[in-house]
Amino acid sequence: MPVCCEVALPVPLDRTFTYAVREGQRVGRGARVIAPFRNEKLIGVVTAADVQEPAEFEVKYLEAVLDEEPLLSEQLLELAEWTAQYYLAPLGEVLRAMLPLMAEVRRTVYYRITDLGRDVLARAVEGDDRSGSVLSNLSSAAADEKDGARAHARSKKKLSREEWDMERRVLSRLAEGEPVKVSVLRSAMGASLPVLAGLTRKKWIARETAAVERDAQRTERFAVLLPEARLPKLTEKQQAILAELAACNGELPLAELRKKDLSSSTLQTLVRRGLVRIEERAAAFHLGGLTPAAAPFALNAAQAAALATLTASLGAFHAFLLFGVTGSGKTAVYLATMHAALERGLASILLVPEIGLTPQTAGLLDRAFGQRVALLHSALTPEERSEQWRRIRSGDAPIVVGTRSAIFAPAPNLGLILVDEEHDQSYKQEETPRYNARDIAVMRAKLAGAAVVLGSATPSLESWQNAENGKYARIELRDRVMNRPLPEVELVDMRKEFQETGQEQLFSRSLVEQTRNALERGEQALILLNRRGYSFAVICRACGEKLECQNCAIALTHHKPVGEDSLAHAGQRLECHYCGFRRMVPDRCPKCDSEYLYYLGAGSQQGEERLAEIFPGARIGRMDRDTVRGRHDLERLLARLHSGEINLLVGTQMIAKGHDIHGVTLVGVVGCDHALSMPDFRAAERVFQLISQVSGRAGRGALAGRVVVQTYYPDHYAILAATKHDYAAFAERELKYRRWMHYPPFGALANVLVQSAKLEEAAGWSSVLGKYFVQNENSGAVRVLGPCTAPIARIKGVYRFHLILKASSRKALNAALRGMLAHAETAGVPRRNVTVDVDALRLM
Question: Would you state the pLDDT for residue 616?
Answer: 94
Instruction: Provide the terminal-to-terminal Cα distance of the chain, rounded to the nearest Å.
Output: 53
Flag whether pLDDT at 92 surpasses 70: yes
Flag whether pLDDT at 775 surpasses 50: yes
Q: pLDDT band for position 175 (50/70/90)?
A: confident
The answer to whether the CB of 43 falls within 8 A of the CB of 79 is: no
Flag whether pLDDT at 771 surpasses 90: yes
Question: Would you state the pLDDT for residue 560?
Answer: 82
The answer to whether the CB of 288 falls within 8 A of the CB of 635 is: yes
Type of residue found at 431: E
Sheet strand arrangement including 557-559: 557-559, 573-575, 582-584
Bridge partners for 181 per DSSP: 110
Sign for the pseudo-dihedral over CA of 719, 720, 721, 724: positive
DSSP label of 427: G
- pLDDT, tens only, 453-475: 999 999 999 999 999 999 999 99
Which backbone phi and psi does 318 adopt, to 5 degrees? -145, 140
Indicate the helix (H) or strand (E) that contains 634.
helix 633-643
Q: pLDDT band for position 356 (50/70/90)?
A: low
Task: Compute the distance between CA of residue 119 and CA of residue 113 in angstroms, rounded to an integer.
Answer: 10
- 262-271, 288-297, 510-519, range with the lowest pLDDT: 288-297
Contacts of 503 (CB under 8 A, 6+ apart): none
Helix (H) and strand (E) counts in the chain = 26, 34
Q: pLDDT band for position 787 (50/70/90)?
A: very high
3-state secondary structure of 187: helix
Question: Would you state the pLDDT for residue 247?
Answer: 82
396, 408, 400: which is closest to 374 by C-alpha?
400
Type of residue found at 246: A
Higher pLDDT, 157 or 429: 429
Share of the chain above pLDDT 70, in %: 91
Sign for the pseudo-dihedral over CA of 197, 203, 205, 206: positive
- pLDDT, tens only, 600-642: 889 999 999 999 999 999 999 999 888 887 667 877 888 888 8
Flag whether pLDDT at 296 surpasses 70: no
pTM to 2 decimals? 0.85
Task: Compute the distance between CA of residue 534 and CA of residue 531 in angstroms, rounded to an integer.
Answer: 9
Higher pLDDT, 456 or 174: 456
- pLDDT, tens only, 321-340: 999 999 899 999 999 999 99
Average pLDDT over every residue of 496-501: 92
111 half-sphere exposure, CB direction, 13 A CA radius: 26
74-87 vs 91-98: helix crossing angle, rounded to 10: 130
- pLDDT, tens only, 546-593: 999 999 999 999 988 754 444 445 557 899 999 989 888 888 898 899
Q: pLDDT band for position 136 (50/70/90)?
A: very low
Give Cα 748 distance to the centre of its chain: 25
Q: pLDDT band for position 168 (50/70/90)?
A: confident
Query: Chain-wide mean pLDDT for the chain?
Result: 87
Flag whether pLDDT at 86 surpasses 60: yes
Angle at 59 (CA atoms; ends 56, 61), nearest 5 degrees: 170
Angle at 382 (CA atoms; ends 381, 385), nearest 5 degrees: 85
DSSP label of 352: -
Question: Would you state the pLDDT for residue 717?
Answer: 96
DSSP label of 568: -
DSSP label of 503: S
Type of residue found at 179: P
Question: Would you state the pLDDT for residue 379?
Answer: 77
Contacts of 760 (CB under 8 A, 6+ apart): none
Type of residue found at 14: D
Entry field: residues in the chain: 844
